[in-house]
Amino acid sequence: MIQLKSLVNCIDNSGAAIVECVQVLRKKAAASIGDRIIVVVQKQRAFGADSGSVSVSAANKVRRGDIRHAVVVRTAKKIQRPDGSVVRFDDNACVLINKSGEPIGTRLNGVVGAELRKTQWSKILSMAPQHV
């Protein structure tokens, strides 16, 4: 359940480490796996901090304070599946996307929920190392 002011981990290589949800799109309730949200980048990931600041800014596609769209891929709230099983993740995580729905990053670090299948986020599913 992601709602206003929720801090969410960003699991792609776009350059954001932690983002804050500012709006849930197309829903009145809290966001769950597969929902689209609007986020603000709170913490930036440091790529190659020992090699100099020029490569760090070139590797990061987003900066602190940027407002972006994202898709929720993991939630700590339990989800009941149609087959009766219940799944729960350790953290809340998202993947940054552009306005047309394409992921900003090129790789994902960590598993994503299989609920993304029914919401047609096949590009994110193909980039993920595993879906549970």
Q: Do residues 34 and 2 touch, judged by C-beta distance below 8 A?
A: no
- 54 occurs within a structural domain: no
State the pLDDT at residue 54. 52
Which residues, at least 6 apart from 58, have a Cβ–Cβ distance to it below 8 Å? none
- 52 occurs within a structural domain: no
- 83 occurs within a structural domain: yes
pLDDT in tens, 90-112: 999 999 999 999 999 999 999 99
State the pLDDT at residue 36. 96
- 88 occurs within a structural domain: yes
Domain harbouring 32, CATH code: 2.40.150.20
pLDDT in tens, 47-92: 665 555 555 556 789 999 999 999 999 999 999 999 999 999 999 9
- 57 occurs within a structural domain: no
- 50 occurs within a structural domain: no
By residue range, what is the domain housing residue 125?
6-45+62-131
pLDDT in tens, 24-52: 999 999 999 999 999 999 999 886 655 55
- 55 occurs within a structural domain: no
- 17 occurs within a structural domain: yes
Start-to-end C-alpha separation, the chain: 18
Give the E-state strand segments of the chain in sequence order.
Answer: 7-10, 16-24, 36-44, 67-74, 79-80, 86-87, 93-97
State the pLDDT at residue 60. 84
If one counts the domains in the chain, the total is: 1
Closest CA to 41 of 13, 72, 15, 73: 15
Query: pTM of the prediction?
Result: 0.89
